[in-house]
Amino acid sequence: MNNFFKKAISLIDNKKCTVGIIGLGYVGLPLSILFVKNNFKIIGIDIDKNKINKIKKNDSYLDRISNKDIALINKNGKFFSNFNKIKVCDIVIICVPTPLKIDQSPDLSFIRKTISSIKKFLRKGQTLILESTSYPGTTKEEIYFKIKDKFDIGKNFFLGFSSERINPGKNEDSIQKVPKVVSGFSKNCLKVISDFYGKSFNEIVISKSVEIAEFSKLLENIYRSVNIGFINEMKVLADKMNLDIFDVIDVANTKPYGFRRFFPGPGIGGHCIPIDPNYLYWKSVKVGLPAKFIKLSANTNILVLNFIIKKILKNLKYKKISFKDSKILILGMSYKKNIDDFRESASIRLIENLLIKGIKKISMHDPYVDNKLNLKKIKKVYSLSSKILQSFDIVVLMTDHDLFDYDMVKKNSKLIIDCRGRFQVKDNVQRG
């Protein structure tokens, strides 16, 4: 057993290692809290100075994270907007964004800039883990090959990948209950990484290779994307047959095997499901086997938005209300219920399309994002009342937050287009 490996294991076992987390967003900040709660010292790094300043003031910038939790990590952590503190870290975790380019190809610029910035601060004995989602081979291509000239990977430096599996909308304390997938470029790498995460997560899942771990994260989200696309297509088909898809699902769900319930909606949203499949599709093209299901599901989830738009326009024409004079309320702006995340939100895409169609009087209401999201030409309704609801021609339920007063909405709305199945279809309710 070499000294670097032995020391790395000892630091972890005794919780004497300092953990550096690069990227303090939806992934990095909850991880920081989890590690502090498990008695690790952390150093948080984010190039966004506003985030660092807020943390230092015990001021959370994520609704799912309380100010109390921020105060907790301040007691056993330090936060910076530069990278030179990496040299004092024993474990470094990269949690930076991996968006798409305009042409839908992977944008690895954040990973590349991070590696370029920290390389000079990396030292022997450290462990480096990528948690940012990308295509199979990213960790090897973008990190391993760029540092292997400086270190003997597996002997004096430990490298691997661990997929992020945070489920927005759930209690952040629950992230430790989700099995943690780990991988490494050698047995020693895997041992160090699995031991480290094992101190904070209830269950560790060992991946046979780094590439398998990278692929598995994409597979999880593609599985959801494909099934969401499928059930949304069934929703449109059921509507054509004058059937309620939610009634169909309820009956099918009584089968004790072979059926897993998925609910239709206004389309996919968030940072993962609209983006991650494109990473694997890009890779599939590179290896000469384009993954048709990935593209098909993505296209279906786009088309379902057109279905909702047609419903709105059809009802306005039926009521002989001109588009320019119509008043539409979008209820819910985040991409799923009970969260403040509006990235890739279907609600935003809906509003953009309605404006193009000539509908100008559009309002939005979402207690989770009203203070964060500003859209040109869109009025914010900060609280609902009977009078306010009655003033709109159509209320479109896009996100079914639990805190909405659905009885009041149902009682006082002229017409509800329900995209989430929250209401029974009758009288003033239609499926969208």
Residues belonging to the active site:
272
* Residue 4 C-beta-side C-alpha neighbours within 13 Å: 17
Q: Distance between CA atoms of 204 and 200, rounded to whole angstroms? A: 10
Please check whether residue 298 is in contact with residue 282, taking contact to mean a CB–CB distance below 8 angstroms: no
SS3 97: coil
In the block, residue with structure tokens 């964060």: 372
Amino acid at 322: S
CA distances from residue 382 to 62, 331, 368, 389 in whole angstroms, order as listed: 19, 11, 10, 12
Please check whether residue 319 is in contact with residue 392, taking contact to mean a CB–CB distance below 8 angstroms: no
Q: Which helix (DSSP H) or strand (DSSP E) does residue 218 occupy?
A: helix 210-240
Q: Give the angle 369-374-345 at the CA atoms, nearest 5°.
A: 60
Starting at the edge strand that comes first in sequence, how are the strands of the sheet with 158-161 ordered? Answer: 77-80, 41-45, 18-22, 91-94, 127-130, 158-161, 180-184, 204-206
Longest dimension (CA), the chain: 80
Please check whether residue 72 is in contact with residue 36, taking contact to mean a CB–CB distance below 8 angstroms: yes
Q: At how many degrees (to 10) do helices 346-356 and 292-318 cross?
A: 50
Strand pairing class (180-184; 158-161): antiparallel
Please check whether residue 83 is in contact with residue 121, taking contact to mean a CB–CB distance below 8 angstroms: yes
Three-state SS across 303-317?
HHHHHHHHHHHHHHH
Per residue in 293-316, is it b (16+ CB within 10 Å) or e — as a string? ebeebbebbbebbebbbebbbebb
